[in-house]
Structures are given as C-alpha cells and as structure tokens.
C-alpha cells in the first residue's frame, strides 16, 4: 500500500448523508488520496465536498461488484462502507461478497464514522504499508 491510498466510498441510501458529512469533515485529508465511489454515493460525495470522486455504477446495478473486482485486482486499499443495519437490502449477497473479498485482500474496512475517523487519524494512513498476506495469516 502506497502513502497515497486508493479509497472506495460506498453507502446505502439512508446512510449517504452520513457519509457525505464524514467526507466533508475529512475533506483536507481525503483530498490527498484517490477516491472511488459507487454511482449515486460518489456523486453525492463529490457534490457535497468538492472532492474528485471517480464514479462506478450504482451498487445494485453492479457497482458493488466493480468495487469487489478492484479489490481482487489489488487496485483499492481502503473501503469506507456506511451500511444501513436497520433496512434489509435486496442486494445483501453483493454486500457480503464485497466484505469477504475485502477481508481476503487485506483491505482496510470502515463501516461507520467512528471507525473511519480512526482510519484517517492513524499514523499509517499517509505512509507506505505492507499488510500481512491473508494466506499467511490464515495458515497459522
């Protein structure tokens, strides 16, 4: 992982305002990194913060799979995913697959503002970092 992180921003509908608010509070630090977002979420973050966010498809239309593919190819370092724990999602299987591939790929995952705050405040956030390979961690 390079010092300039590649960060995916994803949020369920009810959580989009919280993600935009979090990104606005952390605008200065996020501006130093490469941001990706699923369709609507990426647009709302860009509009609400002025940050450049590269947009993929909407989550239910394949955006979650696009993010997962980027993780599988080693093209993302951090996933900030504000999910709505109180609403059933028709594409929950996609969400579970995204979290699974993030775990396998040793991608940092933040599922709420508190965790995301800790991630961006970490001394590792703006430095190079080499995570332990999953196979080695899983083997023993």
Is 58 one of the annotated binding-site residues?
yes
Catalytic residue among 13, 64, 84, 117: 64
Annotation-wise, does 40 bind a ligand? yes
Q: Is 79 helix (H, G, I), strand (E, B) or coil?
A: strand
Is 38 marked within a binding site? yes
39 in a known ligand binding site: yes
Backbone angles phi, psi at 31, to 5 degrees: -60, -20
Q: Which residues contact 80 (CB under 8 A, 6 or more apart)?
A: 7, 8, 9, 10, 19, 22, 110, 116, 119
Is 64 part of the annotated catalytic residue set? yes
**3 state DSSP class of 134:** helix
16 labelled binding-site residue: yes
> Which residues are part of a known binding site?
12, 16, 38-41, 58-59, 91
Active site (catalytic) residues = 64
> Which residues are part of a known binding site for substrate?
12, 16, 38-41, 58-59, 91
């Amino acid at each position: 992982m390079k010092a300039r992180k590649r960060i995916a921003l994803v949020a369920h509908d009810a959580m989009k305002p919280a993600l935009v608010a979090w990104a606005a509070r952390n605008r200065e630090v996020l501006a130093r990194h490469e941001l990706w977002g699923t369709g609507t979420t990426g647009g709302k973050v860009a509009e609400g913060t002025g940050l450049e966010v590269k947009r993929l498809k909407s989550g239910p239309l394949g955006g979650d799979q696009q993010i997962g593919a980027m993780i599988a190819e080693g093209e993302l370092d951090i996933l900030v995913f504000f999910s709505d724990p109180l609403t059933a999602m028709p594409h929950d299987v996609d969400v579970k697959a995204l979290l699974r591939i993030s775990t396998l790929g040793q991608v940092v995952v933040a599922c709420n503002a508190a965790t995301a705050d800790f991630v961006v405040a970490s001394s590792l956030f703006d430095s190079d970092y080499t995570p332990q390979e999953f196979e080695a961690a899983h083997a023993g």
